[in-house]
A and B are shown apart, each in its own frame.
Chain A
Amino acid sequence: QKEVEQNSGPLSVPEGAIASLNCTYSDRGSQSFFWYRQYSGKSPELIMSIYSNGDKEDGRFTAQLNKASQYVSLLIRDSQPSDSATYLCAVNEGAGTALIFGKGTTLSVSS
């Protein structure tokens, strides 16, 4: 059974702080890794994708991947109240397979 594990939270951070979200996955064959943001009552919105070990930065977001440890993380710098949402980690084996999602981590940013 392929699994993606996330701490459900809630993770609470003050405005302007760094939020760190973590995800582990069970399938060593996983090739592609994604972070989706989901506001309450809305559908998942893709915010980051990462395919190789290391860091990938996009604005205030940084995704980190460590395939040896089967670990993916998302850092949100200068957190804003508008970042308050559930963050879903998703992985797949690349071509020919569907995304396996974690249950999501709820982030709350207080002003």
Chain B
Amino acid sequence: EAGVVQSPRYKIIEKKQPVAFWCNPISGHNTLYWYLQNLGQGPELLIRYENEEAVDDSQLPKDRFSAERLKGVDSTLKIQPAELGDSAVYLCASSLDWGAQYFGPGTRLTVL
């Protein structure tokens, strides 16, 4: 069974530029999560989807971050414009209902 797929794995951009991350969850997993992980910290939730619906986006900085999960499968997380402080690893995870969460390899973002 294929795991969670994310792309790109690495991204380097100049500040104020836009960037997008893509995630394909484990087949059949209806719940999808985007986390942010800074160095030396545990992951922190940005947004959680149940199928197509964003059910918890309270920690998503909505002035610059947006996300979508069309058709309840793939998801895209966007930052526009990026700031220096956005440099981090962006992790996507998926689960079946409220079961254990499985993480993708992550996207390491560097904002210069």
Contact = CB atoms under 8 A, between A and B. Distances in A.
A44 B48 contact: no
Given A95-B98, A98-B33, A98-B48, A44 B103 contact: yes
Contacts of B105: 42-43
Nearest to A98: B45
A46 B81 CA distance: 33
A94 B48 CA distance: 14
Contact of B103 (A43, A97, A103): A43
Contacts of A45: 103
Interface in B31-66: 33, 40-45, 48, 55-56
Interface residues of B, number: 21
Looking at chain A's contact residues, the main secondary structure is loop
A102 B42 contact: yes
Contacts of A8: 40
A76 B89 CA distance: 28
A49 B98 CA distance: 13
A99 B45 contact: yes
Interface string A98-111: 11011110000000
Contact of A34 (B33, B89, B97, B100): B100
Given A44-B103, A101-B44, 10 more contacts: A36-B103, A43-B104, A43-B105, A44-B43, A46-B102, A49-B100, A88-B42, A94-B98, A103-B41, A103-B42
Interface of A: 4, 8, 32, 34, 36, 42-46, 49, 88, 90, 94-99, 101-104
